[in-house]
Amino acid sequence: MSGPTCGLLLADMGADVIKIEKIPGGDDARGYRDPQVGGVSAPFMMMNRNKRGLALNLKSPKGRALLLKMVKNADVLVENFRGGTMDKLGLGYEALKAENPGLIYCAITGYGRSGPYADKGGFDLIAQGFAGLMSVTGEAGRPPAKSGNAVSDMNAGILAALGILAAYIHKLKTGEGQVVDTSLSDAALQQTYWHAAVWFATQRSPEPTGSAHILTAPYQAFEASDGWINIGG
122-to-24, 105, 138 alpha-carbon distances in Å: 22, 20, 23
Residues of the chain with pLDDT under 70: none
Residue 25: predicted pLDDT: 85
Determine the pLDDT at residue 34.
82
So what's the pLDDT on residue 51?
97
CB 75 within 8 A of CB 102: yes
> What does the pLDDT read at residue 164?
98
Q: Which residues face 222 on adjacent strands?
A: 229
What is the model's pTM? 0.93
Burial class of 223 by CB neighbour count within 10 A (0 to 12, 13 to 18, 19+): exposed
Q: What is the pLDDT of residue 134?
A: 96
Q: Is residue 227 part of a domain?
A: no
- H runs (alpha helix) in 40-150: 42-47, 61-71, 85-88, 93-99, 124-130
Please check whether residue 75 lies inside any domain of the structure.
yes
pLDDT at res. 30: 85
The residue type of 143 is P
Please give the C-alpha separations between residue 229 and each of 218, 223, 224, 226, in angstroms, as whole numbers.
Answer: 12, 6, 7, 9
Give me the pLDDT at residue 112, please: 92
- The phi, psi pair for 21, rounded to 5°, reads -110, 160
200 in a structural domain? no
| Residue 14 lies inside a defined structural domain of this protein | yes
Active site residue ranges: 153
- Quick: pLDDT tens for 105-115: 999 999 998 89
Count structural domains, the chain. 1
Q: Is the residue at 24 inside a domain?
A: yes
What is the rounded CA–CA span in Å between residue 5 and residue 8? Answer: 5
- The per-residue pLDDT for 96 is 97
Q: Please write the tens of the pLDDT for every residue from 102-149.
A: 999 999 999 998 899 998 999 999 999 999 999 999 999 999 999 999
Does residue 224 lie within any of the structural domains? no
Determine the pLDDT at residue 143: 95
Interatomic CA distance for residues 111 and 76, integer angstroms: 21
Helix 2-12 vs helix 151-174: angle between axes, to the nearest 10 degrees?
Answer: 50
Domain presence at residue 233: no
**Spatial distance between the Cα atoms of 200 and 182, rounded to a whole number of angstroms:** 23
Q: Tell me the residue range of the domain where 146 lies.
A: 2-191
| Rounded Cα gap, residues 9 and 137, in angstroms | 27
Alpha helix segments (H runs only) across 72-183:
85-88, 93-99, 124-130, 151-174
> How much is the pLDDT for 38?
86
Determine the Cα–Cα distance for residues 79 and 42; give it in Å rounded to an integer: 23
Distance between CA atoms of residues 53 and 155, nearest Å: 23
What is the domain-level CATH number for residue 6? 3.40.50.10540
pLDDT value of residue 32? 80
